[in-house]
Structure 1
Amino acid sequence: MTETTLRIGDWTLNPHSGELVQGETRLRLEQRTLRLLMCLIESAGEVLSADAILKQVWPDVVVSPDSVYQAITVLRRQLGDDSKNPAYIVTVPRRGYRLIAATEEIKDTPVKTARYRHWLVLSSLLLTIVLAVAFIPRLAASRAINPRAIAVLPFQDLTDQMGEEPFADGMTEELLSQLAKAPGVIISPPSAQQDVKDKHLSNAELAKTLHVAFILEGSVRKSGNTLRVAARLTRASDGFIAWSESYDRSWDDKLMIQEDIAGEVSKALSRSVH
């Protein structure tokens, strides 16, 4: 049995988990960002219009073409791409976007013979037993919750028409990116949260499941040309609100808003969990 991964330029992508790997760097893409990247990969070398991207990435949501620009910007940031000198995604004026990085499928080599498989199973079993015996005394300690571990929940779009979900998603992405760079802060992988998102757990139950000490949640609300982003850090053990803040900004530069607010939240959280 083989498992297919994809190579995009210098990155390796697991299309099932959304994990991007480049050397020692590992990123986990949010589902919408992953769908956007897969959409570009499937049409690699071809120009995709904003309308075509909207139909594939936001099939059941009514959003403006500006959402595509914002999502492309987030994806470029995660790939380390430069829109002025692109190595991955090119903007074709008045037409759309094209993936220019080389792409290919990578398949794990299947086991060749039954004899080798038998030996491999026995070796793995022996190794598992040895590791289990050594690991049991440390199991309780390893499950202890790190006091600086945080789960970042997806920001909620509270706009009346629910038309700013892409911005809310981008806000979550930018926060994850900023917090990942904060010294001493441990971020729960977004993929782990995907596994429990439909279980309707309380914050305390969610924190216990994800083994985190804090839950960060927030919302986005747009009114006219004003945007309000609210964020709150809750200590899971007792529900104590360790930090909360709201930010009001002009809507003129949405991407700068994301970067600025994510930076402020990251600094505040770094202080709060130490």
Structure 2
Amino acid sequence: MDLEFGNYRLKRAERLLLGPNGPMVLSARSFDILVMLLERPDEVIGKTELFDAVWPSLVVEENTLQVHISALRKLLPAEMIVTVHGRGYKYAGPKPFVAATEAPAPPRPSIAVLPFDNMSGDPEQDYFSDGITEDIIAELGKFREFLVIARNSSFQFRGKANDVAEVANKLGVQYVVEGSVRKIANRVRVTVQLIDASSTAHIWGEHYDRELDDIFAIQDEITQMIAARLARQARTAIASRARARPTDNMSAYEFYLRALQLAATYDYDTVREAEPFLRQAVKLDPRFAAAHALLSFVETLKFFWIYYNPDVLHSGLEIARTALQLDPDEAYGHLATGFAHLYLRQFRQAEISLDRAVALNPNDPFILSIRALHLNYTDRPDEALVEINEAQRRDPYAVGWYEDFRGIILTTAGRYREATACYAKMATVPPWSLVRLIVCHSELGEIEQAQDLLAKVKAHYLGLRLDEIVDTEVDFYEDPAVCSRYRAILQRIDQQE
């Protein structure tokens, strides 16, 4: 049942807090604290009781609770939550009451932005038209009211004579955006149209002829007009979405677009090619926050591929810190910060940063995927599965990490048969998931399959003991008992050979 208090409504089933201006960004732990306070208004709830309810079986520093209380006070009128020194906290706002049942909310408008055609006659300029497309996807993605398909899936239709209705059906969306870009010398022409897929009716269309340094204004106007046209179906704070100019250096921006094209694959061999372009971009414009943020993401992502060297996490944190000093709302700066803290086993700091990244761009599938891993490693696999499903809904054509991440989460949840089915869909199972696949086969009583996989893992890590292999590939759980169990299973399988 929902609770109303003052101008606020707490929706328990959806784990959502609504304020006077719509949904409010609230981390999972802060939500749980607020629920406890509202259920017992005017009653002092001790810190120990809050720790036991919100962080069961975990040892958490006291200032972690203070961080979440401070976050609540920033969202709500500060006087609603009172500190009773030496005892705990209590809710002291308007009396909460059970809210009347609401009619189901209409579904959010769903949108796919297809890659804009490069009309410049030079294939080398694809990065520019692709970059404009990706910028528009990213800006629309900041509207929580919309479901926006990610670039990896919408770019499956690049260079094809697409039937709009068929594309919309394949991507599961109501609206499609198409466009083209012609860049000649220092001028650019952008043409764009918004189409209702059900009727193939053109809802809005426009073309822009501008100087190249007006490209940011063009992108903003396109984004605002698309949002305005869909505002009847969603409460959209259009006026509040205007963004600052990311850079005045167009050469830096072009380096950034080239990097963006490479980094969007999330494949290491391609992602690492993005780094020199980003380094050049921040050299040309040291105040280019988006370039610093993307560079911090590229730096931390190396951790997956270079034998978990923590040095890249620390260097990624430093770059992210620069990005967020320049622009506190750079989602990928918060993503890189959360990613680094997660794999440095600083779980509370990771949660704060990843929640902020999702709040800033709730449609980015990689941000959602990394938060799913955080939920998994902090013993919330059921929530993690919801998150990874949300990520895939936004990027249904992406390959690689979904089945891998889902297999990791299902193994944690003890759903071993479902986990093996995920790994069976992958062309190559990476070493970190081979360890989990051994666990799955062992727990299912499939000892021969587990032994075959263990032999492959040992050959890959020639010279390492089994406990060292688990420590290298798996030991990212907040609860050490998980990895202890995995080590015991591998040792048992090894002794049965």
Give me the TM-score of the superposition, normalised by structure 2. 0.29
Structure with the higher strand share, 1 or 2: 1
Larger radius of gyration: 2
TM-score by length of 1: 0.48
